[in-house]
Amino acid sequence: MLKEFKGRTAVITGAGSGFGREFALIAADRGMNLVLADIQADSLAETETMVTARGAEVLSMRTDVGDAASVEALRDACLERFGAPGLLFNNAGVAVGGLAWENSVSDWEWVLRVNLWGVIHGIRCFVPAMIQAGRPAHVVNTASVAGLLSPPTMAVYNVSKHGVVTLSETLFHDLRMVGAPVGVSVLCPAFVPTGIADSGRNRPENLRSTQAPTASMRAAQASTEKAVRSGKISAADVAAMTYEAIEQDQFYIVTHERIMDSVRLRVADVSERRNPTDPFSMRQDVAPTSGEGDG
């Protein structure tokens, strides 16, 4: 169980904004070295400046978590500078909405690449070194309540985050099975004010949708923007809860207590073989439209 943070190293993806930046600030305050990774260079540099001002040693690298070679280069630089990390935050993420059959191939590829492959590469690249180091260490994978529930008009995001939850649960078992001193947590927040509703800002040119957004995509985007903006728990609160969970070796980090009713309902639907209950309210604004499919 990781108890001593001082002098250890935290690797954080998506470190330029939102949760990633807050994880970095707490790590700096706890005397950790930092490996900061993000695809957006300017915001990454801002986080670097903030943690350097708090006295942290920093390695900052522009990284695309969906690209195997990019994460391997991050790993190599981290091992050379600081050695194996004590903390690994696989946190970078992006979102799109819309009715399941209207999302384009590029919507699926972009979001799965960042949200799921990003976590896969993080585990693949860093966990072997963490095991080999033989010291207490911890992996935090950022999923979402969308990894525990299946809200409508969020198929792409839901699939990516359910993937992160099952990957994290399996990683937990695998590490226990081999007796490695590496803990795992999966972070499942509801809506929190961050840059997530504007994640299209970092969508690569080659994975842009070539067709105009459908009505369901526009409605999903508007409702996500509103929900994210109205979130009462801050990114700093979520980061603080995450460090508490790491110290307690707690696996599931569900930051919004009220969402647990929907989680329990889903589990009950499965165990009773009932049809799934919509975890949010039914929304007329995303009723199917014709002729607006996006490939």
According to the binding rule CB under 6 A, does residue 60 interact with ligand NAD?
no
According to the binding rule CB under 6 A, does residue 279 interact with ligand NAD?
no
According to the binding rule CB under 6 A, does residue 262 interact with ligand NAD?
no
Cβ 47 vs Cβ 34: under 8 Å: no
Angle at 113 between CA 283 and CA 260, to 5 degrees: 45
The number of CA neighbours under 13 Å toward the Cβ of 127 is: 22
- Considering only 196, 220, 246, 286, the residue that binds ligand NAD (CB under 6 A) is 196
Q: Give, as ranges, the residues between 225 and 254 that touch ligand NAD (CB under 6 A).
A: 228
Active site residue 157: yes
Q: Quote the least distance from Cβ 236 to ligand NAD, whole Å.
A: 11
Burial 19-58 (b: 16+ CB within 10 A, else e): bbbbbbbbbbebebbbbbbbbbeebbeebbeebeebebbb
229 or 274, CB closer to ligand NAD?
A: 229
The DSSP code for 154 is B
According to the binding rule CB under 6 A, does residue 18 interact with ligand NAD?
yes
Amino acid at 245: A
From 11-19, 72-80, 167-175, 215-223, give the range in contact with ligand NAD by CB under 6 A: 11-19
From 77-85, 121-129, 196-204, 259-267, give the range in contact with ligand NAD by CB under 6 A: 196-204
According to the binding rule CB under 6 A, does residue 153 interact with ligand NAD?
no
The residue annotated as part of the active site, out of 157, 203, 220, 242, is: 157
Closest to 279 measured CA to CA, from 287, 294, 293, 269: 269
Measured N-to-C along each axis, helices 68-81 and 118-133 cross at an angle, to the nearest 10 degrees, of 30
Closest to 51 measured CA to CA, from 74, 19, 18, 29: 29
Q: Quote the least distance from Cβ 224 to ligand NAD, whole Å.
A: 8
Catalog residues that contact ligand NAD under the rule CB under 6 A.
Answer: 13-14, 16-20, 38-40, 43, 63-66, 91-94, 114-115, 142, 144, 189, 191-192, 194-196, 199, 202, 228
